[in-house]
Structure 1
Amino acid sequence: MTIAPNPQQFSVDADFRPHAVIIGAGFGGLAAAVRLGARGYRVTVVDRLNGPGGRGRGFQQDGFTFDAGPTIVTAPHTFEELWGLCGKRMSDHVPLAPVDPFYRIMFADGSTFEASQDTEAVRAQVAKLSPGDLAGWDRFMARSESNLREVYERIQHVPFRSIWDMSIAMGGLARLEAYHSVYGLAARFVKDERLRQVLSFHPLFIGGNPFAVSAFYSVIPQLEKTWGVHFAMGGTSKLADGLADLIREQGGVLRFRQDVREIMVEGGRATGIRLTSGETIDADIVVSNADSAFTYGRLLPAHVRRRRWSDRKLERARYSMSLFIWYFGTDRQWPEVQPHTILMGPRYKELIKDIFERKVLASDFSLYLYRPTAMDPSMAPKGCDSFYVLSPVPNLQGDTDWTAAAEPYRRAIEDSLATKLLPGLKGSVATSRVVTPLHFRDTLLSPHGAGFGLEPVMSQSAYFRPQSCSEDIDGLYLVGAGTHPGAGLPAVLASATILDKVVPDAGQLARNGHQFLRGGGVF
């Protein structure tokens, strides 16, 4: 971890410190702002929404509190580091509580599986479901542990600035058997289809197809086991609020309800942004936390991005699936329901094909149910529960008319939950809100309503994914789910960590007249 000197130690007036403008107050943008502020930059964060968090913001409705997006914290040290850069402790501002079991998986045949940090308890469940697979399960977890070290040491925090960087990483990718899919790797070790699902569904949390995404994403079960699964008291959005407070305490500025029209470029270098209001904000560097495809396709003219991210390249790219989310609060409680429950549908591979390949809305579904009031009752009125239920669905490259399909789909999900997990749900709903792929396209500005930006297939990962340092424009940097290393809170925060390796520190930039070399260096 690199911590630059305090800005007051620079031999320039504080008003002349280099200015960083950040587009988007999602977790990537917030983390980037904290890091750049700690390295001496004046920071301005601009976001079109009404508060911090981006896809991970929160909202209140009828006395209930909801997280809009991420619900699980799996690598708390990545957040703690940001508070540490400001000389503070995260636990003093946003307490985390461990969740164990992590989640319960309910299969269509009525059997269940609970993921946990208790190795022997998990092994006992494996033995109960399929005794002959216990040895294979152990081998998979051992492989996942070694893969986690490889990903963290050689891939996740490394900028891929050339094909040479990628060639260096190829040895590690070979050791990870990245040429397999996550499901393919799981199938090598266990035979029971339920256990294969347990070991392979995680890529859906980051927009990936388990049958297509590279096996280096098989690290997620081990990531959960190594650092645990945690709940941010008050909801994950409290982490976004806390980071926003850190930025303000550093002297940074956050401006909400501000739409960015374009990134201004002069002489091949980003010089600031122009808002839809016509206002311009000059900057020494620009960091975009907007969706990477939106950044290149909508915020920059085609003639300045000829090298990598042309209109043709963006049109031919593969985009992740989208999400249907129903937020609802109830006037009663289900104390037996855990914070995180996954309900697998009757089909797995064929449903995944419907979502990612055929792009049709199937009549069946798999669901993730989040009950935060199991951890923090204050997120609902007394005696009530707060929920959200998420279903992976095709992005808008399919032909589903969500203006007509949303309510029938919600009712089908309600029927399923009432039958399988929440008896008495019908008639108990006190507040309700639905999000469809149209929200991801129109509000979050994600092309095709993709829930996680570019799909994390091998041809769109590592060097082949948009990088933190723009290949075409000096002084332009990208963070967030659509950039390397990808989606999910640990990866999104890692994209901001990479900035420490590619963005010059403010003192150096100030001393050298704010002049850039290609690739993030300075004269």
Structure 2
Amino acid sequence: MSIPTSAHSITTAPSREAFSSRRKTALIIGSGIGGLSLGIRLQSLGFDTTILERMDAPGGRAYQRRVNGYVFDMGPTVITVPHFIEELFALERDRAHLSEPDFPNENSAEPPSHDHTARYVKLVPISPFYRIYFDDGTFFDYDGDPVHTREQIETLAPEDLSGYEQFQRDARAIFERGFLELGYTHFGDMPTMLKVVPDLMKLDAVRSLFSFVQKYFKNPKMQQVFSFETLLIGGNPLSVPAIYAMIHFVEKTWGIHYAVGGTGALVRGMVKKFEELGGTLRCEAGVGEILTAKEGRKTVARGVKLEGSGEELHSDIVVSNGDWANTYLKRLDSKARKINSDTRVKLAPQSMSLLVIYFGFRDDPARPLSLRHHNIILGPRYEELLREIFGQKVLGKDFSQYLHVPTLTDPDLAPAGHHAAYTLVPVPNNASGIDWATQGPRLVDKVLEMLDERGYIPNLMGRLTHLDYVTPDYFEQTLDSYQGNAFGLEPLLVQSAFFRPHNRSEDVTHLYLVGASAQPGAGTPSVMMSAKMTARLIADDFGIHPSIAD
């Protein structure tokens, strides 16, 4: 089945009237991938844009750390939908593309062009997408090859072959409606939301993802294979809506890619593009307050005050790429907030958090690793563990993890003869009250010993040359995430679409949001989509009208 493409492209340029007197100015709080994506788009819309970053280097959750010859991506490592990146790198100053994207045809013999991307970063495909290890030692190589997928199902769960075919059909329908058709829809009002509810009900996309998967797969292993992905965007498979089944087709259609040099190389490429377009990045410039003024009955964003120095910067618009909860709770007076009130913000469930271990170890040519670039290592319990993390907010007796070994693809991330790796363990956020100063080191030891003793990395403890880790305290204190969440708001049905924070503030005129906390949600492609949504809203508010170009 072909993916529809547009018959023409729409090019948007600032209207002469809107920018006749002077160029408008924008301040973006945070230099995560969402903030950088929007910064590039605002420069292409004709704004003079400054991105303010509280850390010493850009990236936010995608910060990259270099130590002892090792290079560690601190956060996201999975890159999907590479044509979103290509579109950003193709933008020109004062010339912005805000139309629906021309999605590459999945059946086309010609691969989509990455010509502009190649000027800034090198992307390479990864296969399998993930190697998924089960607790009994068997594994499933999750990739986009339907023949290989069927062969593995026939080996591990032959009773689920027919169910897989039905799942493919129904997940594709959700992907086509939920991603291709509605992916760039900003649900800013209830009527927009109500228009799509019948379709989502018809597709059975509002029940929980795990319940949806259970309709097609009886074997617990297959239920885990086709539901685990939402954990990589902070969602509990037991409670996220089944519309997230589209992730399977997003990955299957365009694959999973790796930025050579790590995700930090993608961040550096985006900074280069932003600065080429005339944008300014300021690091070690944390924002303590969003400045506002009253204009009649409206409260209008007028700039920011920096932490520490108290320096005030003024602008026509302010955008927060930071955490939604702390944007409102910490940086805006409660008197200016009626919709995003203290009560609403504090009651909104936050996503889970993470313990992430960054480690380097010597290679052992006599025992080459059987791991792949991306590995999911599932513990003995699945549903019970998820309930403990998301519901009870306790540390369980066991754990699951995502183990990333990028040096299998890119040896330059470690000294010669060594590997750089990180392993990510889902844990409760800081609403749990867990003392991570005590529990963090204990869990680190358990995880590393498990990788050693179970043979994933034989003699790991004897081969270790570097070890560091972060807990939910890092997300709360360094990344300024409310309750130490790792992915913004939890992607529940009641926190999706219209019910997720709006990219245009309802409380403060000319204040906008972008990134994981805003619509459509977390994940690298989603925050790039969020940037385009927010850019459209800003263009509309400032009378920047689209023109049709051949």
Structure 2 residue 446 is matched with structure 1 residue 418: no
Change (3 A) 1:144 1:81: same
Structure 2 residue 522 is matched with structure 1 residue 487: yes
Matched residue SS, 2:176: helix
Structure 2 residue 122 is matched with structure 1 residue 91: no
Q: Distance in 1 between matches of 2:320 and 2:19?
A: 29
Picking from 297, 300, 314, the partner of 1:269 is 300
Judge conservation of contact 2:355–2:427 (CA < 8 Å) in 1.
Answer: yes
Judge conservation of contact 1:59–1:68 (CA < 8 Å) in 2.
Answer: yes
Picking from 186, 191, 213, the partner of 2:240 is 213
Judge conservation of contact 2:33–2:62 (CA < 8 Å) in 1.
Answer: yes
Matched residue SS, 1:504: helix
Q: Which amino acid aligns with 2:52?
A: V
Picking from 72, 75, 78, the partner of 1:66 is 72
Structure 2 residue 331 is matched with structure 1 residue 296: no
Q: Where does residue 310 of structure 1 map in the other structure? A: 341
Deviations 1:448-468 (A, max 9, x none): 101111100011110000011
Picking from 477, 483, 488, the partner of 1:442 is 477
Q: Where does residue 313 of structure 2 map in the other structure? A: 281
Deviations 1:388-444 (A, max 9, x none): 000000011113110011111111001111122000101211111110000000001
Judge conservation of contact 1:104–1:342 (CA < 8 Å) in 2.
Answer: yes
Q: Distance in 1 between matches of 2:412 and 2:241?
A: 40
1:363-512 to structure 2, matched below 5 A, reads: 363-420=397-454, 421-504=456-539, 508=543
Q: Where does residue 519 of structure 1 map in the other structure? A: none
Judge conservation of contact 2:374–2:405 (CA < 8 Å) in 1.
Answer: yes
Structure 2 residue 336 is matched with structure 1 residue 330: no
CA displacement at 1:5 relative to structure 2: 3.2
Q: Distance in 2 between matches of 1:217 and 1:5?
A: 34
Deviates more, 1:384-393 or 1:155-164: 155-164
Q: Distance in 2 between matches of 1:294 and 1:367?
A: 28
TM-score (structure 2 length as normaliser): 0.89
Deviates more, 1:186-195 or 1:148-157: 148-157
Q: Distance in 1 between matches of 2:63 and 2:501?
A: 24
Q: Where does residue 516 of structure 1 map in the other structure? A: none
Matched residue SS, 2:204: coil
Judge conservation of contact 1:157–1:498 (CA < 8 Å) in 2.
Answer: yes
Deviations 1:256-281 (A, max 9, x none): 01110111111211111111221111
Q: Distance in 1 between matches of 2:54 and 2:134?
A: 40
Change (3 A) 1:399 1:331: same
Matched residue SS, 2:141: strand
Change (3 A) 1:253 1:264: same
Judge conservation of contact 1:155–1:462 (CA < 8 Å) in 2.
Answer: no
Change (3 A) 1:507 1:300: closer
Matched residue SS, 1:466: coil
CA displacement at 1:155 relative to structure 2: 3.2
CA displacement at 1:10 relative to structure 2: 8.3
Picking from 31, 34, 39, the partner of 1:33 is 39
Q: Distance in 1 between matches of 2:471 and 2:328?
A: 24
Change (3 A) 1:467 1:505: closer
CA displacement at 1:219 relative to structure 2: 0.9
Q: Distance in 2 between matches of 1:288 and 1:507?
A: 18
Q: Distance in 1 between matches of 2:17 and 2:544?
A: 14
Structure 2 residue 109 is matched with structure 1 residue 78: no
Matched residue SS, 1:397: helix
Matched residue SS, 1:203: helix
Judge conservation of contact 2:13–2:544 (CA < 8 Å) in 1.
Answer: no
Q: Which amino acid aligns with 2:460?
A: L
Q: Which amino acid aligns with 2:473?
A: L
Q: Where does residue 111 of structure 2 map in the other structure? A: none
Question: How many pairs were matched up?
Answer: 507
Q: Where does residue 228 of structure 1 map in the other structure? A: 255
CA displacement at 1:331 relative to structure 2: 2.1
Deviations 1:479-501 (A, max 9, x none): 01011100001111110010232
1:144-223 to structure 2, matched below 5 A, reads: 144-223=171-250
Q: Distance in 1 between matches of 2:202 and 2:174?
A: 8
Structure 2 residue 144 is matched with structure 1 residue 117: yes
Q: Distance in 2 between matches of 1:321 and 1:109?
A: 26
Q: Distance in 2 between matches of 1:38 and 1:160?
A: 24
Q: Distance in 2 between matches of 1:218 and 1:506?
A: 34
Judge conservation of contact 1:154–1:172 (CA < 8 Å) in 2.
Answer: no
Q: Distance in 2 between matches of 1:236 and 1:3?
A: 29
Change (3 A) 1:399 1:254: same
Q: Where does residue 49 of structure 1 map in the other structure? A: 55
Matched residue SS, 1:43: strand
Change (3 A) 1:466 1:10: closer
CA displacement at 1:8 relative to structure 2: 10
Q: Percent identity?
A: 38
Q: Distance in 1 between matches of 2:426 and 2:141?
A: 21
Matched residue SS, 1:477: strand
Judge conservation of contact 1:272–1:281 (CA < 8 Å) in 2.
Answer: yes
Q: Which amino acid aligns with 1:284?
A: D
Judge conservation of contact 1:104–1:114 (CA < 8 Å) in 2.
Answer: yes
Q: Distance in 2 between matches of 1:508 and 1:173?
A: 33
Judge conservation of contact 2:38–2:535 (CA < 8 Å) in 1.
Answer: no
Q: Distance in 1 between matches of 2:515 and 2:540?
A: 21
Q: Distance in 2 between matches of 1:344 and 1:286?
A: 42
CA displacement at 1:3 relative to structure 2: 4.1
CA displacement at 1:172 relative to structure 2: 2.8
Judge conservation of contact 1:17–1:506 (CA < 8 Å) in 2.
Answer: no
Change (3 A) 1:124 1:55: same
Q: Distance in 1 between matches of 2:354 and 2:264?
A: 19
Change (3 A) 1:2 1:406: farther
CA displacement at 1:506 relative to structure 2: 9.6
Q: Distance in 2 between matches of 1:92 and 1:464?
A: 39
Change (3 A) 1:185 1:253: same
Q: Distance in 2 between matches of 1:506 and 1:195?
A: 47
Question: Any gaps of 5 or more consecutive residues in structure 1?
Answer: 511-523
